[in-house]
Amino acid sequence: MINTILKPGILRVLALLVSSLWLSSLSAQTVQTRVNTDSVSVGDAFIYSITLQLDQEYETIQFPDTSAFPPSVELIERKQFRLSEFSDSISYKLQYFDNEDLFIPPLSVTLFAETDSITLQTDPVTLFFKNVVAEGDTTLKPMQPNFTFTRVWWPWVLAAVLLGGFLYWWFKLRKKEEQTEAEQAPEIKPFHNPLVALEDELEKIKRESDLAVTKDFKVFYSDIGDALRTYFEELYGIPALESTSSELLRYLDAYGIDDTLNEKTRIILKKADLVKFAKFTPTLEDAWQTYEEAIAFLERAKSTDSARIRRLRAKYDAQFRPEPDHINNKES
């Protein structure tokens, strides 16, 4: 009878001992979560880091991968630092693309030992969204009345006179013009350098844009994006102008475009899409920062695409500028 009474008590004591050992082992592992900011706006990059303090050395530590983060952020860079045998950390550099508060839920960190594993949870993180629209910009303005114009007939008379003059030239002087053109040497178009064309277009955008007055950010971002698209179409033969941003980025990956050019293009097209389709209004500082990204793209392209430009020039010279010996043989 005494043994019958003691057995349940012994079992309870053993259960308490096992639970205490398990809880002490779990509490000995600590995980800390840090971010370097408390708020974000569209396109902002921030650092999200996880630090582990361990009571023993584990064979493998599995940190969260990119799929664990919300879809509104993109991974730019990830670095892992092993501080000691009992301390490990990882740092994620993330970029935010949305227009509301960012919530990062608890993420799982799994510790693998020889015989078992332990899963820890990070603390949830909330970053508040910073609205970059100026306070007075959201006010709706009344529509202006339409202007009425009186019908003017003199442009039609002028058009008829010009048409008559053109027909006279076409019937009376066309033969003489054709003979003159036959005697002249064929016109050779100058070599078109896509890199020079890109630089000229960016200078034109900067020279003609008056964002402080017009606030026409949509045209500004579209012009920068089209300048990059034209460059890829002319130099690489990619159908960039008729492709969406996602399609163009897939083309760049498939063609093996330089990583820096690929990244600059991705940043510019993302911001341009936000302005054009998400009704996002950037600040002047953000707009000119995007322009500087395009200038950085240009400087990188000068070094990475110089060989491709030389091959394009050599092909042009071979087609339109034959060697002197070849010309002399043809004339003889």
Look at residue 24 in the predicted model and tell me its pLDDT.
45
Look at residue 252 in the predicted model and tell me its pLDDT.
94
Question: What are the tokens at 69?
Answer: 């983060």
Look at residue 182 in the predicted model and tell me its pLDDT.
55
Question: What are the tokens at 193?
Answer: 């350098």
Look at residue 150 in the predicted model and tell me its pLDDT.
66
Look at residue 183 in the predicted model and tell me its pLDDT.
59
Look at residue 62 in the predicted model and tell me its pLDDT.
86
Look at residue 133 in the predicted model and tell me its pLDDT.
58
Look at residue 248 in the predicted model and tell me its pLDDT.
94
Q: Which residues pair with 172 in a beta bridge?
A: none
Look at residue 38 in the predicted model and tell me its pLDDT.
92
How would you classify residue 69: left for phi > 0, otherwise alpha for psi between -120 and 50, otherwise beta? beta
SS (H, E, C) the chain: CHHHHHHHHHHHHHHHHHHHHHHHHHHCCEEEEEECCCEECCCCEEEEEEEEECCCCCCEEECCCHHHCCCCEEEEEEEEEEEECCEEEEEEEEEECCCCCEEECCCEEEEECCCCEEEEECCCEEEEECCCCCHHHHCCCCCCCCCCCCCCCHHHHHHHHHHHHHHHHHHHCHHHHHHHHHHCCCCCCCCCCHHHHHHHHHHHHHHHCCHHHHCCHHHHHHHHHHHHHHHHHHHHCCCCCCCCHHHHHHHHHHCCCCHHHHHHHHHHHHHHHHHHHCCCCCCHHHHHHHHHHHHHHHHHHHHHCHHHHHHHHHHHHHHHCCCHHHHHHHHC
In the CATH scheme, what is the code of domain 28-129? 2.60.40.740
Segments in the chain below pLDDT 50? 1-6, 13, 17-26, 324-332
Look at residue 250 in the predicted model and tell me its pLDDT.
95
- All structural domains of the chain with their residue ranges: 28-129, 194-317
Look at residue 239 in the predicted model and tell me its pLDDT.
95
Look at residue 85 in the predicted model and tell me its pLDDT.
73
